[in-house]
Amino acid sequence: MKNPESSPAASIPDVFDPTCSSRHALELIAGKWPMLIISALENGPMRNAALMRRLGDISQKMLTQTLKELERNGLVIREDMRTVPPHVEYSLSPVGRSLSETLLVLDRWAETHFGALDAARERYDTERRK
């Protein structure tokens, strides 16, 4: 029998292993927009224009691009109604929904603690006169 130390980490996923796919999963949502888009889709399908309005300051390019990445990874489902003018709806897949639930926790964390962060930053900056 081999000890766990010698096993080249095939079974137990580890976010700290650079070659592990779980790292990839984290990097997928590490950008500026993915988390917000997933959160925005929480309450049901949305169209391109509605998402742009909701996200406030995203560019058309980044929205399309990010949605495509999320679709590619199976988090978002793109439904093209094939009408003219175009009507496309984006929604969360089951996996996407499971992610949105943990992101909700993160959103709440941000809304709870941003004040503390702001204060700390100001303290830090004034202390070192930057």
Query: Is residue 50 within the footprint of a copy of itself (CB under 8 A)?
Result: no
Query: Is residue 46 within the footprint of a copy of itself (CB under 8 A)?
Result: no
Query: Is residue 44 within the footprint of DNA (CB under 7 A)?
Result: no
What's the min distance (Å) between Cβ of 20 and a copy of itself? 8
Of 51, 72, 71, residue with least CA distance to 60: 51
> Out of DNA, a copy of itself, none, which partner does residue 120 contact, by CB within 5 to 8 A per kind?
a copy of itself
CB atoms within 10 A of CB 69: 17
> Between residues 1 and 53, which has the closer beta carbon with respect to a copy of itself?
53
What is the torsional sign of CA 74, 77, 78, 80? positive
Q: Which residue has the tokens 């742009």?
A: 52
> Per DSSP, which regions of 6-108 are E strands?
46-47, 76-80, 88-92
Query: Is residue 40 within the footprint of a copy of itself (CB under 8 A)?
Result: yes
Q: Are 91 and 79 in contact (CB under 8 A)?
A: yes
> Between residues 78 and 87, which has the closer beta carbon with respect to a copy of itself?
78
> Between residues 68 and 121, which has the closer beta carbon with respect to DNA?
68
- Between CA 101 and CA 104, with CA 78 as vertex, the angle to 5 degrees is 15
Query: Is residue 94 within the footprint of DNA (CB under 7 A)?
Result: no
Judged by the rule CB under 8 A, the positions of this chain that interact with a copy of itself are 13-18, 20-28, 30-32, 35-36, 39-40, 54-57, 71-75, 95, 98-99, 102-103, 105-107, 109-111, 113-121, 123-125
